[in-house]
Amino acid sequence: MTTPREFKYVGTRPIRHDGVDKVTGRASYGADVVWPGMLHGFVLRSPHAHARIVSIDTRAAEATPGVKAVLTGKDLPETTATIALGEAAIDLRDVGDNMLARTKVLYHGHAVAAVAATTIDIAREAAEKIQVVYEVLEPVTGIDRAIAADAPILHPALRTKGAASPGAAGPTNIASRLEFKRGDVDAAFAEADVVVEREFRTPMVHQGYIEPHACIARCGEDGRAVVWCTTQGPFVVRDACAAIAGLDPAHVKVIPSEIGGGFGGKIVVYLEPMAIALSRKAQRPVKMVMGRDEVFRATGPTSGSRVRVKLGAKRDGTLVAATASLWYEAGAYRGSPVGAGAMCALAAYKIPSFFIEAHDVVVNKPKVAAYRAPGSPIAAFAVESVVDEIARELKMDPIELRLKNANAEGDKAPYGPKYGPIGLKQILEAARNHPHWTSPLAANQGRGIAVGFWFNAGMNSSATVILDTDGSAAVVTGNPDIGGTRAAQAIMVAEELGIPVERVRPGVGDTDGSGYTDLTGGSRVCYATGMAVIRAAEDVRDQLKARAAQIWNVAVDAVGWENGRAIPPAGTEKAEAMTVAGLAAKMAHTGGPIVGRASLYAPMAGPAFGAHICDLEVDSETGQSKVVRYTVFQDVGRAVHPGYVEGQMQGGAAQGIGWALNEEYIYDADGVMENAGFLDYRMPVASDLPMIDTVIIEVPNPLHPYGVRGVGEVPIVPPLAAVANAMRDATGIRFTELPLSPPRVLEAIEAASAVSVGA
């Protein structure tokens, strides 16, 4: 076993390098730029949730003074390209159709045409003159309807992929079905002393980033395009734009703006290829900015769901059997995160026999996009609620029950491979020993705990470290900084080179200025891109050692490195240790500038677990509830900048609390979303929440030089069940449908008291 490395900068909390620009309003986000001569684009959207497009007449719009270009689906080529991005965003034909409908509209708000004009008002008025004739079809607004025998079919060519259920053939709204199984489930349930089975439902919810989608694009006579946009993945945007707008990717450059939140929702393109196509027609730059209602209606929420879970346990608390049936809404095109949901559902527990099935279901709602640990929170809500019920039936402490069944290093994950070092037991023990767990509750309060799991992504990353003659360094990667990753990357360069963090300039490159890098998401930036940054800094260090060897006229291998200084071999005459600055000053005489670079493909990072304890106070007269205390425990592997690690844990918890208590897409019978604004789509505000305590656990990930696992996604997984379990504790009622909004809670409390009065 190697001794743990002593860090000088890793684990400190320097002020982020982009901070002053962001607190003074100078940082440029998607909608903050103006290009000379630019036009404004406006999108015409479908008033129907499901309809065939019979015809589109754009003549009146085109004739409007000030209008420079009008676009419909027919103007764009059909593409069959795909981008490998996991299960959620692969098919660019679907992405293109979702961006601008060709033959059918599949949800209320689906784009059917776009107009570019000299002012946004002109563009809007012209768009309203576009005549679209629809043949309206019955909307499929939920899973139950989608899978009914007589359901309208969204995509006539769609067939179920994967492990088809017996008898499934022909047109369907079930895009895929997956199974995971181990052991003999029926026999195992027969051995169980207690069995609990429940069915859960969750509504669609949105990522809710505060900055709406925005971009500006220009496309010249030579077919070369430049796009400025708010995105988690500039390279994804580049490749998608090229395929959808019909350009050579060699001719597309994407410049990422500062990004005002994403959470997975700013990976897919909604505007950029349209802006390029409009610009190509008009030969002027085109700026497009979504309104909040467009963000709700036409960008990715995550799935609504129906999940049935059954668990069996022995009297001593040993879990022996499980079944789970997951049904996730994909929205208008296939690709819900149900596969990940199925893989995460039982990830925490050693259960010898289980059967899990997962269904991806298309419905007439917006196509879902990734949302923080996509698929896992929905599955955890169901499983962790049932685990809580088992603990109650067995009169066992819910942490003890979980510890008894917790997976550890060497155990087989339900999706197959064996776990490496994981911190599940450590977080559960930390939770059990935390004062929160044993503190007294006041009247009308309840306490819940739940755990959650996420894989944490790896994939492609590149980094360049540029040394300057004064011994400072710049580091450039292709990852937009969505929550403090610049600071983390500067820390890593400082750590490797031994120069102060403040003397490192971290930057975000555009698609021409950095090596290919996958998106900012999947909790991968600090892990995978961080690994590239560390290696690029090591590359600089190796070059510096070679320069020192040259100066001292010794063999490179003989040069040591300590505390940011090259050390001459013992006995070298007139040689003293040289600092980075000293060596950098001599670059011109020792071979010229020094640039370090690294590119890599990382496997998925170490899997990570979190546990959340929630105290909820419930007003039984109004059904209103409030989180009064909340503590987040998480194994992050290694916290590079603990301030931003805590921030991820707190922010994820807050989003999950919103999902549990208030957030939902509300649809009418025609498939029209009724609450497409922040007033009625109720996200948590400051007065809804207490301070959110964090406990960082560090079980190093052997795949990363510092042990980083990634942090951003796990914290949204446990809150749904942690809150629901606290609600059960406070009210005695097991809620199986989210959100736990005051009317739903009040109704259940009244029903329960009516029963107890009647009895």
* Residues found near ligand FES in the complex (CB under 6 A): 210, 261
- Site residues (CB under 8 A) for another protein, limited to 95-134: 121
CB of 458 to another protein, least distance (A): 7
From the list 194-202, 415-423, 464-472, 578-586, the region that binds another protein by CB under 8 A is 415-423
The item of another protein, ligand FES, none sharing an interface with residue 655, based on CB under 5 to 8 Å by kind, is another protein
Rule CB under 8 A: is residue 152 a binding residue for another protein? no
Mark residue 14 as left, alpha or beta (left: phi above 0; alpha: psi -120 to 50; beta: remaining): beta
Give the long-range contacts of residues 152-157, CB within 8 A, separation 24 or more: 152/50, 154/50, 154/104, 154/106, 154/332, 154/362, 154/363, 154/364, 155/333, 155/334, 155/362
Q: How far apart are CA 480 and CA 286, in angstroms?
A: 22
- Site residues (CB under 8 A) for another protein, limited to 448-477: 455-459
Q: What is the DSSP code string of 269-291?
A: -SSHHHHHHHHHHHTS-EEEE--
CB of 740 to ligand FES, least distance (A): 24
Interacting residue with another protein among 153, 554, 595, 689 (CB under 8 A) = 689
Q: Distance from CA of residue 241 to its chain's centroid?
A: 21
CB of 209 to ligand FES, least distance (A): 7
CB of 559 to ligand FES, least distance (A): 44
Select 555 or 686, whichever has its Cβ closest to another protein.
Answer: 686
Cβ contacts of residue 712 below 8 Å, gap of 6+? 372, 483, 521, 523, 648, 652
CB of 507 to ligand FES, least distance (A): 20
CB of 705 to another protein, least distance (A): 16
Q: Which residues pair with 87 in a beta bridge?
A: 85
Rule CB under 8 A: is residue 186 a binding residue for another protein? no
CB of 737 to another protein, least distance (A): 23
Cβ contacts of residue 121 below 8 Å, gap of 6+? none
Interacting residue with another protein among 9, 10, 18, 515 (CB under 8 A) = 18
- CB-count burial class (<10 Å; 0-12, 13-18, 19+) for 451: buried
Select 134 or 455, whichever has its Cβ closest to another protein.
Answer: 455
CB-closest chain residue to ligand FES:
210
Q: How far apart are CA 347 and CA 408, in angstroms?
A: 11
Rule CB under 8 A: is residue 351 a binding residue for another protein? no
Per-residue string for binding with another protein, 506-525, x by CB under 8 A?
A: -------------x-xxxx-
Question: For 633-715, where are the alpha helices, taking DSSP H only?
Answer: 642-661
Give CA separation, 178 vs 201, 303, 328, 414, in Å.
Answer: 20, 17, 12, 13
- Site residues (CB under 8 A) for another protein, limited to 598-637: 601, 603-604
Rule CB under 8 A: is residue 16 a binding residue for another protein? yes
CB of 654 to another protein, least distance (A): 3
Q: How far apart are CA 318 and CA 315, in angstroms?
A: 7
CB of 261 to ligand FES, least distance (A): 5
Rule CB under 8 A: is residue 653 a binding residue for another protein? yes
The item of ligand FES, another protein, none sharing an interface with residue 482, based on CB under 5 to 8 Å by kind, is another protein
CB of 245 to another protein, least distance (A): 24
How many chain residues bind another protein (CB under 8 A)? Answer: 110
The item of ligand FES, another protein, none sharing an interface with residue 57, based on CB under 5 to 8 Å by kind, is none
Q: How far apart are CA 356 and CA 109, in angstroms?
A: 34
Give CA separation, 167 vs 156, 172, 176, in Å.
Answer: 18, 12, 14
CB of 290 to ligand FES, least distance (A): 13
Interacting residue with another protein among 245, 499, 566, 692 (CB under 8 A) = 692
Rule CB under 8 A: is residue 482 a binding residue for another protein? yes
Query: Which amino acid, one-letter code, is at 463?
Result: A
Rule CB under 8 A: is residue 332 a binding residue for another protein? no
Dig out the tokens for 373 from the structure. 């640990």
Rule CB under 8 A: is residue 419 a binding residue for another protein? yes
Rule CB under 8 A: is residue 264 a binding residue for another protein? yes
From the list 108-116, 139-147, 159-167, 663-671, the region that binds another protein by CB under 8 A is 159-167
The item of another protein, ligand FES, none sharing an interface with residue 215, based on CB under 5 to 8 Å by kind, is none
Select 304 or 471, whichever has its Cβ closest to another protein.
Answer: 304
Q: How far apart are CA 207 and CA 263, in angstroms?
A: 6
Select 267 or 321, whichever has its Cβ closest to ligand FES.
Answer: 267
Strand order in the sheet with 194-202: 161-162, 174-182, 353-362, 319-331, 305-313, 194-202
Select 301 or 651, whichever has its Cβ closest to ligand FES.
Answer: 651
DSSP label of 527: I
Select 333 or 644, whichever has its Cβ closest to ligand FES.
Answer: 644
CB of 519 to ligand FES, least distance (A): 17
- Site residues (CB under 8 A) for another protein, limited to 199-238: 207-212
CB of 264 to another protein, least distance (A): 2
Dig out the tokens for 222 from the structure. 């030579």
CB of 108 to ligand FES, least distance (A): 23
Query: Are 632 and 693 spatial neighbours (Cβ–Cβ below 8 Å)?
Result: yes
Select 449 or 457, whichever has its Cβ closest to another protein.
Answer: 457
Per-residue string for binding with another protein, 375-414, x by CB under 8 A?
A: x---------------------------------------
CA angle 555, 556, 559 (to 5 degrees): 100
Alpha carbons within 13 A on the beta-carbon side of 151: 24
How many CB atoms sit inside 10 A of residue 593's CB?
A: 12
CB of 524 to ligand FES, least distance (A): 19
Exposure string over 377-409, b if 16+ CB within 10 A, otherwise e? bbbbbbbbbbbbbbbbebebebbebbbbbbbee
Query: What does the chain come to in residues?
Result: 759
Query: Are 286 and 39 spatial neighbours (Cβ–Cβ below 8 Å)?
Result: yes
Per-residue string for binding with another protein, 555-584, x by CB under 8 A?
A: ------------------------------
Query: Are 120 and 42 spatial neighbours (Cβ–Cβ below 8 Å)?
Result: yes
Q: How far apart are CA 231 and CA 265, in angstroms?
A: 9
From the list 64-72, 310-318, 323-331, 364-372, the region that binds another protein by CB under 8 A is 364-372
Exposure string over 643-655, b if 16+ CB within 10 A, otherwise e? ebbbbbbbbbbbb
Rule CB under 8 A: is residue 677 a binding residue for another protein? yes
The item of another protein, ligand FES, none sharing an interface with residue 28, based on CB under 5 to 8 Å by kind, is another protein
